[in-house]
Amino acid sequence: MRRKPKLRFTSEQKLKARRTRAFILAFAAFVVVFGAASVLLFLHSVDYDLNNLISPEETTAAPEETTTGVLETVQVQSADVFYACVDSDDSLVLLSVVSSDANAGRISVCTLSPAETAAYNGETAAFSAIYQKYGLAGLRESVASALGISLERYVKQTETQLRQVIGEIGDISVNVPASIEYRGADYTLFLDAGEQSLTGDLFAKYIRYSAVEQQADAVCALVQKLLSAFDPADPSPLFNSVCNQSDTNFSVLDCTQSDGLLYTFLALQDAVSVGTPPKEGEEPA
């Protein structure tokens, strides 16, 4: 017995839905093709190389200005910078002069003992006593007079501010001449002999503990570390940070103009050494 074929019925509503979908797909395809053709015609009209759509044109980045390029044009100048550090009681713990020598092409560091005496304002007294009586201005003038030099810039910091700066630039590598085992009322310090990496706290203690000669070596290491931490292409961030943690007469012009004093020290940063306090009228040795 032959089976009857099944009858399939398609409603008018389904037919309309199919036609609608077909129309939408056709219209979408037309829009895509028309849009692509329009873009190609536009690119052709502006003489764009269509081959770049397949093989993009290689671009060469402009070479960045190197550190050497920034510093090699610096007009090095001779200048003397006075640096003082005080403890929490505002007593002198470090007295130093950092000098740039344009003729020798180097930076020299000399330190003075706060107990050393000098003539100032008609009396002879220790630098520490002059500072207590006449403040930073009197101390600066007495040091300049004792050394026979002009101190163009000054920087004064507390031990706390010094520790903060070292925390920002990184530990200071110092050659400790002999092992130290010191216990005092204010601080303790234990260091092995040889090359040591000192945190800000250890560096401040080492400065307080050390004699003038060792202080000079430590300040040399500090100056080298600080100068190497600057970006010559943009020294402002670190410069501003150090100035904000100091009492200083360095100005923004020292780091924003090509003849600013900061650039002299940056240009000479590879030639930092210990000098000796000059006799009156002489440059630091």
CB atoms within 10 A of CB 128: 19
Element (H, E) at 252: none
Print the SS3 string covering 84-107: EEECCCCCEEEEEEEEEECCCCEE
* Structure tokens given for 40: 């190609």
Q: Who wins on pLDDT, 23 or 187? A: 187
Tell me what pLDDT residue 55 has: 56
First to last CA, the chain: 126
CA distances from 248 to 162, 173, 258 (A): 13, 25, 20
Q: Who wins on pLDDT, 26 or 78? A: 78
Q: Which of 242, 245, 272 is nearest to 255 (CA)?
A: 242
Question: Please, what are the domains in the chain?
Answer: 69-274 (3.40.630.190)
CA distance 41 to 239: 55
pLDDT at residue 17 tops 60: yes
pLDDT at residue 206 tops 90: yes
For 100-113, the pLDDT digits (tens) are 999 999 999 999 99
* Under 8 Å between Cβ of 78 and 242: no
The arithmetic mean of pLDDT across residues 256-272, rounded, is 92
pLDDT at residue 72 tops 50: yes
The arithmetic mean of pLDDT across residues 209-221, rounded, is 96
Tell me what pLDDT residue 281 has: 46
Residue 191 one-letter amino acid: L
Residue 67 one-letter amino acid: T
Tell me the Cα Rg of the chain: 36
For 160-193, the pLDDT digits (tens) are 999 999 999 999 999 999 999 999 999 999 999 9
Q: What single-letter DSSP state applies at residue 212?
A: H
Residues above pLDDT 90, as percent of the chain: 67
- Positive or negative, the CA dihedral 266, 174, 199, 140 is negative
* Structure tokens given for 159: 């031990």
Tell me what pLDDT residue 108 has: 96
* Phi and psi at residue 92, to the nearest 5°: -65, 130
The arithmetic mean of pLDDT across residues 128-144, rounded, is 96
Element (H, E) at 153: strand 153-158
Residue 61 one-letter amino acid: A
> Percent helix, strand and coil across the chain, each rounded to 5?
45, 20, 35
CB atoms within 10 A of CB 186: 9
CA distance 80 to 154: 9
Mean pLDDT of the chain: 85
Its pTM stands at 0.74
* Under 8 Å between Cβ of 263 and 232: yes
Confidence band (pLDDT; 50, 70, 90) for 280?
very low
Residues belonging to the chain? 285
Tell me what pLDDT residue 259 has: 86
Report the SS3 class of residue 43: helix
